[in-house]
Amino acid sequence: MMKCPMPPHEPLLGYPDLDDAERLRRVEAFEAAMRTRRSVRHFSDRPVAREVIESAIRAAGRAPNGANLQAWTFVAVADPDVKRRIRAAAEEEERAFYGGRAPQDWLDALQPFGTDEHKPFLETAPWLIAVFGQPHGVRDDGTTQKHYYVKESVGIATGFLLAALHHAGLATLTHTPSPMNFLREVLGRPAHEQAFVLVAAGLPAEGATVPGIEKKPLDEIARFLP
């Protein structure tokens, strides 16, 4: 079996020699910024420059991933007609979900958020970013290339994307109607791509509110073994 050639190595950059006080200051600043990130369901229709979305996607593309095969595709949609089609297909799935497909305990968990089958934000938000994973790739000669740790890789990249959009001052919402096969059809993606999440991005509507919820404290989500 032919082995892939080793790429040339290059100097590692981006890791300045900081003291612990400066490291703490930086991570606390990031934590403070992320504390203000919320899932927003009421968007303004004010436009957002494509260049902002492009830069956020480039940041997402820097995420660590299995064998650096970068098994993802980000489809950014601003076209009103395409957003309308996505909303119609998503709401069809959501009607089935809220109308009997979802177990009662799941509906009970969603109750504090007031969600239902109506998803107007899919049209109102200036951008929808559909994130696809690729269980395998297709080489130029038509043969397939297996991809590794796809869900983990795409999940990390989506986290990078959300953080980048929030850093840009944009509100976001992750939307995962189940199933999401319609996204591949509406967006004309190939059969080897699978929809992972749909991210609505834009400015929040004037007067937008969010549920008053709390996040678990550190001692409930982490364990330290000195």
On whether residue 37 sits in a domain, the answer given is no
Condensed to tens digits (0 to 9), the pLDDT of residues 64-83 reads 999 999 999 999 999 999 99
Condensed to tens digits (0 to 9), the pLDDT of residues 167-198 reads 999 999 999 998 999 999 999 999 999 999 99
On whether residue 35 sits in a domain, the answer given is no
On whether residue 215 sits in a domain, the answer given is no
For every one of its 226 residues, what pLDDT tens digit does the chain have, with 9 covering 90 and above? 456 677 899 999 999 999 999 999 999 999 999 999 999 999 999 999 999 999 999 999 999 999 999 999 999 999 999 999 999 999 999 999 999 999 999 999 999 888 999 999 999 999 999 999 999 998 989 899 999 999 999 999 999 999 999 999 999 999 999 899 999 999 999 999 999 999 999 999 999 999 999 999 999 999 999 8
Burial 127-155 (b: 16+ CB within 10 A, else e): bbbbbbbbeeeeeeeeeeeebeebeebbe
On whether residue 13 sits in a domain, the answer given is no
Domain span at residue 97 reads: 45-205
pTM: 0.94
Report the DSSP pairing between strands 127-133 and 72-77: antiparallel
On whether residue 85 sits in a domain, the answer given is yes
On whether residue 87 sits in a domain, the answer given is yes
On whether residue 30 sits in a domain, the answer given is no
Q: How many domains does the chain have?
A: 1
Question: Which domain CATH number covers 88?
Answer: 3.40.109.10
On whether residue 12 sits in a domain, the answer given is no
